Homo-oligomer: A and B are copies of this chain.
Amino acid sequence: MAKSKDNKKGTSDQRVSKAVVSRLSLYLRELSRLERAGIETTSSTKLGEMLGFSDAQVRKDLANFGQFGYPGVGYRCSELISTIRQIMGTDQKWPVALVGVGNLGRALLGYRGFSNQGFNTVAAFDLDPKIVGTEIEGIPVFSLDNVDKIVKEKSIQLAILAVPATAAQEVAERLVEAGIRGFLNFAAVTLRLPEDVTVIGVDLAIEMEQLSFAMTSRIP
């Protein structure tokens, strides 16, 4: 199921990859923590234990992408970090557009977690003439009317969509026309876009559910 057919780095089944890639993100964060702590090697067992996965799960996830680890040594943290970054495409810098500079948009412009992982917000777009032409958190705000030009100039492929739900579909279509190929969608609607455009929806309630579960399971 979770295997790509003949392409070591990818799979065309997005639903399969989503679970695996989520775990890769978690492995990456644990490995980075280990590396910062000066620990040079780890194993599928240790990595799994830190995250609540079996060692078999860790090995199976990584086996989708090649052969890693050394007998008697395990994984070299720094090597596995750069391999995972390569697999996930975060070994390169991604210029990103933020679209919709409302409260959420402003908050996301100030969010540092993105740039740490190679996602550089290089342009913001809105329709409000009061903010078009200004800079917010050092990022220039452009009119959505100029999106074609700016997206091309700055070679932007990814957009963070933070517009109201009612506007999301229309704005997303406009962005696809301008050349955007992938969306992180914060609007609470399912976008209908061409098949070759990737949309990742953000559902913050999932995180809240982690919290209520932990609270519930603590109450005797």
Contact = CB atoms under 8 A, between A and B. Distances in A.
A90 B204 contact: no
A116 to B, nearest CB: 7
A205 B32 CA distance: 14
Given A110-B103, A205-B113, A20 B212 contact: no
A152 interface: no
Interface string A1-26: 11010010111111111111110111
Nearest to A89: B216
Interface string A40-64: 0000000011111110000000000
Contacts of A211: 158, 182-184, 198, 200
A19 to B, nearest CB: 5
A216 B53 CA distance: 26
B119 A217 contact: no
A76 interface: no
B113 A213 contact: no
